[in-house]
Structure 1
Amino acid sequence: MLKTVAEVTLRDGTPMQVVLCEPPEEEYAQGLLHFLRHKADDSLRGIRQRVLGQYADYCLDRYFVGEVDGRPVGHAWYGLPRVDDGRRWGIGNFGHVYTDPEWRGRGIAGELTRLLLDDFNAEPTGSCLLCSAGADAGRIYRRFGFQFIPPDATSGPMCYLKPSVAPDFATLDEEYFAPGLPTRVRHGHIGDRHDLDRMLDFSAPWIAARARWHMVGVSSLAPTFMAALHYVEDGRGLLSVLQTSSGSLVGYAFVLSLGTGYEVGLRTFDFVLHPHYLGEGVSLARETLAMAAEAETSDVHTSVAACDEKKLEILQSAGFAEQYRFADAFLVGSGTPEQSRHDVLLLKARASTA
């Protein structure tokens, strides 16, 4: 879908046309990708796949493009999952806000944000939009109802909530990750991205737990759900998610080939799990390894820092056994008074498990 949604006048009196692009719109997408070519490679890869409609089965993506005389001068985007799997919340992502340097200071970002939020508020499937922002951008977004997480911050995570959903992000956090619900493990897909790389990442209990939960060794090459999904798209393994009966996504796991071509047979397992659902960690690990076994994947290893005691306990209970120990190989709190070194354990899944 491609349509003009508004004609606005910028601060200097210049008229700007605002175009809404909802993928797939391949012809328009090429110009939009050229406009956003400054993005980092991984980010641009995701944008390219979205605007070309490759994620359209799982994602609702809307791009608001400001044009002057047919030339793009500004851009903003929001995305929501397009899935019917019993989710109570429609967790969205807002971002990629960009103004051509020659056109900055004329109110383009504010106009695009206003129109985008009008559209989001009319979209029945959306509950909230999450993003990260620096101090300058944050001041703009706050004028439109975004809140910092926590509220006294001046940069970092932000949230825009529909009033009917929750009064603030802390309340949404508590409700979304309410403990004790039944769970199931399934294959992950792009429609899970905003829940896991935004909602989970911004959750206060998970932020507190990250000091005792690290991605070690080659697992650090896939530090986010989206990064792991790119490996899956390249045919280098699989990705699972842990979903509650309310539809909340409370963790994910992967079995991926993260090494070079010389290590193509070596598969790495790792997982992320909200603290309220640590009791489901063994099931998440075992069922993910069972998925790998069905795909005829063997020789699955993982690395864990000895200081991550709960993570190590889950891995051992799931059938991983220590193969090697690298003494003092992991540094925590570099350059701080709390700096400490810890062993790194290389574990291997038992053949009956993987």
Structure 2
Amino acid sequence: MTIEVCEPPFPGGEHSLCWWGDIAADLMAGNLRPWLYTPYYLGKIDGEVVGYMGCQTPADTREVGLVEFVWTDEAHRRKGIASLLLGRLVEEFTQAGGLALYLCTANPHAGSLYERHGFRYFVGDGMRYLAPGAGDFDRDYLEGGSPAEVRDATWADLPGASVLYNHPEPRWVVKDYLSESFHDTRYESHFVKTLRRLEGRRGVCLALENAKRRLVGLATVERRGSFAEQHTGILSFRVAPAFSGQAADLLNAAVERCADLEVAVLHVYLADCDDDQKQLLEEAGFGEEARFKRRLRVDGEYVDMVVYARTIAQTAAALFDEGYYYGGRKDWQRERVDAAG
């Protein structure tokens, strides 16, 4: 078997190489190359592809990455093809200065393969590989230092978001309400789905980046999906503890962007037991507005979910009319109703 390493764009017909429908077309067409380095490792026998897997790292920094889209042709399974491909991927990743790789699997046979290559079970169904010398990754990667800066999040933040949201700290019950990600669940393609949903002025995602160009915080605002509620948004955020002192900077930047989105009220959903998260919100002008009794199961007990809110403006323009939303009357229907008297 030969191993061919290639990057998108690929000619037509290779959409099956990406299983994330939200970005498959863009990834295969090479449209994400400005942000992501996405090599594919193709195993070929007599010129025929019998297995493949992909790796995704930021285009400009190769410290962290994801292993995705692992496949072996059914007729060639149990022949060590995936092992050879993964070995090559890990070797090239570490040679380029890579520190940590993340993946997920629900397949026990695949889990055994990843274990043999140094991956260890991490969060939920997720696994992680640490390069030689990176044993203190959890302590060192998100450590403090120079002040971080707020910027717009991009596709390049996909691997960094996996690091941030799968890191054991902060130990908040609700990691990301927008993607229904909790403290004991793996976070990965959630970022892709969220970023895609925000397009077309439906929200904004802001990153907190430190001097080493590492993602140390993320704040996402998503507009609610109905005509009656479009002036309100849901805010979800996570900040590495070493940069909690800049959480207010990140949150206030998200609030400022709401003016462009015509979002007048923000709501944040969190567990009542996460006092440190409450404090960060209060420092940014949020306060408790509602409470759902016994909404969350935590360590065999029930915990209240609280809703923190901040009113940004008293009014907001309706960016989208009723016909924009599912079930709403379209303009041509309104015209016909008016014409009928």
Fold match (TM-score > 0.5): yes
1:106 aligned to 2:79?
yes
The whole-number CA distance in structure 2 between the counterparts of 1:182 and 1:220 is 30
Structure 1 position 35, deviation (Å): 5.7
Name 1:187's counterpart in structure 2. 152
Aligned with residue 245 of structure 1, among 187, 211, 216: 211
Aligned Cα RMSD in Å? 3.1
User: In the alignment, residue 347 of structure 1 is paired with which amino acid?
Assistant: A
Query: Alpha carbons of 1:125 and 1:316: their partners in 2 closer, same or farther (altered >3 Å)?
Result: same
Deviates more, 1:263-272 or 1:124-133: 124-133
Counterpart position of 1:202:
166
* Cα offsets for 1:103-160 (capped at 9, x unmatched): 21122211222332343345x364432223454324323444x24156xx99742214
Aligned residues: 308
Asked whether the equivalents of residues 221 and 258 of structure 1 are also in contact (C-alpha less than 8 Å), the reply is no
1:148 and 1:155 in contact (8 A); partners too: no
Look up the match of 1:5. none
| 1:53 to partner: Cα distance | 1.1
Q: 1:247 to 1:289 in 2, by over 3 A?
A: same
The CA deviation at 1:78 is: 0.8
**Secondary structure at 1:53's aligned position in 2?**
coil
Please say if 1:52 is aligned against 2:23.
Answer: no
Kept in 1, the 8 Å contact 2:265–2:309? The answer is no
Tell me if structure 1 keeps the 8 A contact 2:288–2:307.
yes
- Which residue does the alignment assign to 1:285? 251
Counterpart selection for 1:220 from 158, 163, 180: 180
- Structure 1 residues 82, 61: CA separation in 2 closer, same or farther (over 3 Å shift)? same
Partner of 1:12: none
What one-letter code is carried by the residue in structure 2 that aligns with 1:99? T
3-state SS, counterpart of residue 186 of structure 1: strand
Question: How many Å apart are 1:22 and its aligned residue?
Answer: 0.4
Task: Pick the aligned partner of 2:9 from 24, 32, 36.
Answer: 24
CA contact (8 A) 1:330 1:344 kept: no
Residue 259 (structure 1) aligns with: 225
Q: Matched residues, percent identical?
A: 24
> Could you tell me which of 92, 102, 120 is aligned with 1:148?
120
Q: Is the 8 A contact 1:321 1:349 kept in 2?
A: no
Kept in 1, the 8 Å contact 2:119–2:128? The answer is yes
The partner residue of 1:34 within 11, 16, 22 is 16
Instruction: Please tell me the residue identity of whatever aligns with 2:110.
Output: A
Q: Is the 8 A contact 1:23 1:61 kept in 2?
A: yes
| TM-score, length of structure 2 as denominator length | 0.78
DSSP 3-state at the match of 2:213: coil
CA shift for structure 1 position 241: 0.8
- Give the secondary structure class of the aligned counterpart of 2:270: strand
1:250-284 alpha-carbon deviations (Å, 9 max, x no partner): 11001112424553332221211223322222121
User: CA separation in 2, counterparts of 1:173 and 1:202?
Assistant: 10
Q: 1:180 to 1:121 in 2, by over 3 A?
A: closer
CA distance in 2 between partners of 1:140 and 1:52 (Å):
30
Contact 1:214 1:305 survives alignment (8 Å): no
Is 1:65 the counterpart of 2:31? The answer is no
TM-score, structure 1 as length reference: 0.75
1:331 correspondence with 2:301: no
Inter-CA distance 53–179: structure 2 relative to 1 (3 Å threshold): same
**Aligned pair in 2 of structure 1 residues 96, 51: CA closer, same or farther (>3 Å)?**
same
Q: Secondary structure at the match of 1:205?
A: coil
